[in-house]
Amino acid sequence: MKFIIDAQLPVKLAVALTAAGHDAVHTLNLPDKNRSRDSYIVRLADSEGRVVISKDADFVTSHIVHGSPLRLLQISTGNMPNSTLLPLVLGNLDRIAGAFESVVYVELTTTTIIAHA
């Protein structure tokens, strides 16, 4: 899968996803780095077929109201150390990918994956 990871998530997530064989870009790799506007992130994600991974509820609102980003993985775990977050995402990656086969908005919590219709 192809991902773009928003600023409030660690660069280590992009590194881990890339190491797992995915195409992952963090906002730090964009021209405006972590100051990249949400609209730029959405346009880039949609044009390159990337899933936006974010904790930012603004992306949820944009997805629901405007249908953009086209695909969204919302991380709804609250604050947690990278040592907990990375295994949570990577350990559920197959289930997340499976959910994206039937929906375009997936939410990951500390205990479940929600495939929003």
Cβ atoms of 94 and 80 within 8 Å: the answer is no
Sheet holding 2-5, edge to edge: 23-26, 2-5, 51-54, 72-75, 105-108, 113-116
Q: Give 64-80 pLDDT, tens digit per residue.
A: 999 999 999 999 999 99
Cβ atoms of 75 and 92 within 8 Å: the answer is no
- Smallest CA-to-CA distance from 18 within 90, 76, 88 is with 90
Q: Give 2-25 pLDDT, tens digit per residue.
A: 999 999 999 999 999 999 999 999
Cβ atoms of 113 and 92 within 8 Å: the answer is yes
Q: Where are the domains of the chain?
A: 2-116
